[in-house]
Amino acid sequence: MNLNSLNAIQNLRQSQQDARTERSENFCKSGFEHLQSALEAKEDPLKREHLKAASQDFGEAIQNARSHIDAYIGMAYLLISLHDYRRALDYLKEGQRISAQDPDILLMLDILQTGSALSTQPSKPLISAPVSQSENPEVVLQALEKTIVQALQALMQEPPLPPQPVHSPKDLHHLIQNYQAWKKREQQLRLQLQALSEEMEVLALEQKLHPLELALNRQLQFIRLSKQILQLEDRIRSEEERVRTDLEKAQLLLSPEEHQRLNLDLEEFFDDCDHFADELDMLEQQKIQIPEILRHYEALLEEVENFHETLDRVEEVTPAP
């Protein structure tokens, strides 16, 4: 077989792979649309129809491209909405096997762990008291439904999340405070539903809380990503300070032992720069704009190179130990 034939085979395989990837993305997009429609549906038959279609779409997406992380996340969302946490965990674990540090996968695992933790709490509500015999459960149900609708309307009126993760600790602190306030509100509503469930069926009302849950999950994901970026920037800046400190030492008269220790530090700086580069690549692959961090990283590389050159010059005049 000649080189042209090999190239033709490789091109054909790449074309087939691209087509499968595109089909997977289309199925995944359709799955999320059906999932959203299911959450918004008021009639159970229509809800079941959308959930079934979403399940089929996510399954097809996985069949066409088994490395498509969004398909596993979508299937996990669907199963969580059905309270099938065990199977949701299976899909998330498979997704994590493909991409161990995917932020969406980590977020969903956090959600499941939080849900498991809540399930171990006492069955009696901690905030609202159980519905007493003197209270009409139907009246309580209507009042609670009104409260949930008002909460959703208030959330929709809030400013949307920024298009890019925040790069300011002050902005991040504000986001965390806002998220915690809404999360507390959601938990209070769930505890009230739990109390009411002892008297009557509340599944339809629980489903009305799903949009609030999804919105809070998006906020949590955004906060996690913003925190990751700020922590990465802090680590790069700290590394810059370490390199500058060693650079100042290298410009002094060194003993052979001191020179050897600084060479070990240099190897560590090279390794750290490689790790930083990997993390920056992952952020850029997610279309996240990080110009400030990139400037610090470039400054770090320059400092490490200066340190390297200084050690080389010192080595020429330093006697062997």
Model pLDDT, residue 122: 32
Least confident of 178-182, 197-201, 277-281, 286-290: 197-201
- Average pLDDT of the chain is 80
Model pLDDT, residue 118: 35
Amino acid making up residue 73: I
Model pLDDT, residue 13: 62
Exposure of 45 in the CB half-sphere (CA atoms within 13 A): 0
Instruction: For the chain, state the CA radius of gyration.
Output: 27
CA–CA gap between residue 279 and residue 230 (Å, rounded):
12
The predicted model scores a pTM of 0.54
CA–CA gap between residue 65 and residue 54 (Å, rounded):
17
- In 3D space, the residue among 45, 94, 90, 54 whose CA is nearest the CA of residue 74 turns out to be 54
Residue pLDDT, tens place only, 193-242: 887 777 788 787 787 788 888 888 888 889 989 999 999 999 999 999 99
Model pLDDT, residue 53: 93
Domain 1-120: CATH superfamily, name plus number: Tetratricopeptide repeat domain (1.25.40.10)
Question: Does 186 score more than 70 pLDDT?
Answer: yes
Domain ranges, ordered by start, for the chain:
1-120, 230-317
Query: Do 234 and 296 touch, CB atoms closer than 8 A?
Result: no
Q: pLDDT band at residue 192, thresholds of 50, 70 and 90?
A: confident
What is the mean pLDDT of the segment spanning 287-310? 93
Model pLDDT, residue 111: 58
CA–CA gap between residue 92 and residue 87 (Å, rounded):
9
Question: Does 2 score more than 70 pLDDT?
Answer: no
Residue pLDDT, tens place only, 125-177: 323 333 443 457 778 778 888 888 888 778 777 788 888 888 888 998 898 88
Tell me how far CA of residue 298 lies from CA of 1, 237, 285, 290, in angstroms. 47, 11, 19, 12
Q: What residues contact residue 289 under an 8 Å CB cut-off, 6+ apart?
A: 164
- DSSP label at 286? T
Q: Which residue shows structure tokens 């993760």?
A: 165
Model pLDDT, residue 160: 81
